[in-house]
Structure formats: structure tokens, C-alpha cells
């Protein structure tokens, strides 16, 4: 087994990278932020990782107290991986990395996303002004995976499992939801084509989709700032 390298730096940020800086580590954390998963589910969500590497990363993260392995009670009685309370504190770090990364000129917008990555992107890309004063409760279904979504007091919460009395239940795929939320594709068109099925209030679905917007790329923002500075200096 390869020796794990460390930075040997007194900075707490360097120590954090010692714990979660290895390849795949933060993506494993991302996949667990919305709730626990079995090993097979993690492999399915991260198809490019080998079983051996996944096992090693899970062992490392467990040893670092970022996650834990536990057995679900009956009738499930299966082993799952779950973030510790401290591990869940990485959520704002990952959300901010996503918001920073989407502004990269090299980032391919519209590329396919896994379910967890897409839903977590919503937490990164919600526009605060649009969320203010808005209250929503939805249930999202992707094949066999079910998630509850709630917007209260400007805070968007998403997690695995059914929603309690949702305003609407939505069944769709990640590509369709990606286009609806960020590409602003017409909701009626997705419904008519059968790519999105729902029960409940269609207006609540549209209100949810209108919450999100991608920030400008860094080069566009920088160019605008440079142009403004040039204009002011004249």
C-alpha cells in the first residue's frame, strides 16, 4: 500500500487537506451530504473510482472521523456509510467550491450530473433575493431515489426520503431538471413530452425552478470590471 503523504505544515487548512485532500475524498463526502449510502450506491454514483480506491478512501475518512459505517435497523439491516456531525460541516465548503468552480472559463456548463451533485448544486445556486419570502415543499423522484425539498425563511433544505405533505411531487431525470433549472427550458414542454411527471401544484414547481441562476464566468466578470475601470479613468 502506498504511503499517504502529508504536508507537514502547521496551518489548519493544510491539516484539513491531509484529511480530505486526496483524490475522490471530497466527492465521497458530497455523495453523503444528503444522507447515508451503501457501498454499491457510492460505486454507482462515482463510476470512475475503482472498488479498491473507494474502500481505501472510506477507511481513511472513517479513521479521520469524517464518516462512520453503521448497520441500519430492521427491516433493512444493511451497512451504510454516513457522515459524522463534524463531517457534515464540510457542506458549506463543498457548496462554495461548486459556486467558485462554475465560474471557471474552462467549466463545461450543462454537462451530465449525478443526482446528488445536481441537488447540491441547487443549494449553491439559489438566488437569495428570489428565495426571500418564498416557502415551498416538494418531493423529487429519480428512478428509485426519493428526496424531500423544503424552502423556509430563505433556507433550502434537501435530503433523502419522502416529503411530508408536499405541494407537488415530481418524477423526472437529472438531464431534464438541469435544463429546466439552469437552461430555463419551458416546464410545459417537459410535461407534454413525458420527461417530467407531477402531481400537485404546477405553480409550485415553476416557483422552485425560478429560484436558480448560474453566476457569470470569471473572465466575463473580470472583463466587465476592467472595462468599467477603463471608462472611469478616461
Q: Which long-range contacts (CB under 8 A, 24 or more apart) does 84-89 make?
A: 87/29, 87/32, 87/61, 88/33
In this predicted structure, what is the pLDDT of residue 230?
A: 47
Rounded CA separation 208/131 (Å): 9
Q: Which long-range contacts (CB under 8 A, 24 or more apart) does 41-50 make?
A: 42/81, 45/114, 45/115, 45/116, 49/24
Rounded CA separation 149/177 (Å): 14
- What does pTM read for this prediction? 0.89
Chain center to CA of 8: 31
Tell whether the model's pLDDT for residue 225 goes beyond 90. no
Structural domains of the chain, ranges and CATH numbers in brackets: 12-89 (1.10.10.10), 110-209 (3.30.1050.10)
Instruction: Provide CB contacts within 8 A for 184, sequence distance 6+.
Output: 209
Cell of 230: 477603463
For all residues of the chain together, what is the average pLDDT? 92
pLDDT band with cut points at 50, 70 and 90 for residue 85: very high
Rounded CA separation 132/191 (Å): 27
Amino acid at each position: 500500500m502506498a504511503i499517504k503523504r502529508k504536508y507537514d505544515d502547521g496551518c489548519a487548512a493544510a491539516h484539513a487537506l491531509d484529511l480530505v485532500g486526496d483524490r475522490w475524498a471530497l466527492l465521497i463526502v458530497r455523495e453523503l451530504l444528503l444522507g447515508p449510502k451503501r457501498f454499491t450506491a457510492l460505486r454507482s454514483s462515482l463510476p470512475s473510482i475503482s472498488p479498491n480506491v473507494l474502500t481505501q478512501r472510506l477507511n481513511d475518512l472513517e479513521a479521520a472521523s469524517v464518516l462512520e459505517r453503521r448497520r441500519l435497523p430492521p427491516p433493512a439491516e444493511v451497512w451504510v456509510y454516513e457522515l459524522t456531525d463534524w463531517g457534515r460541516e464540510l457542506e458549506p465548503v463543498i457548496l462554495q467550491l461548486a459556486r467558485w468552480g462554475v465560474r471557471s472559463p474552462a467549466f463545461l456548463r450543462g454537462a451530465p450530473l449525478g443526482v446528488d451533485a445536481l441537488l447540491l448544486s441547487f443549494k449553491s445556486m439559489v438566488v437569495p433575493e428570489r428565495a426571500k419570502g418564498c416557502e415551498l415543499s416538494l418531493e423529487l423522484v429519480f428512478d428509485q431515489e426519493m428526496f424531500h425539498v423544503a424552502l423556509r425563511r430563505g433556507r433550502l433544505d434537501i435530503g433523502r426520503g419522502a416529503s411530508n405533505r408536499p405541494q407537488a411531487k415530481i418524477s423526472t431525470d437529472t438531464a431534464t431538471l438541469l435544463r429546466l433549472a439552469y437552461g430555463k427550458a419551458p416546464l410545459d414542454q417537459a410535461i407534454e413530452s413525458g420527461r417530467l411527471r407531477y402531481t400537485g401544484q404546477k405553480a409550485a414547481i415553476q416557483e422552485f425552478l425560478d429560484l436558480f441562476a448560474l453566476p457569470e464566468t470569471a473572465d466575463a466578470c473580470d472583463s466587465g470590471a476592467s472595462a468599467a475601470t477603463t471608462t472611469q479613468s478616461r
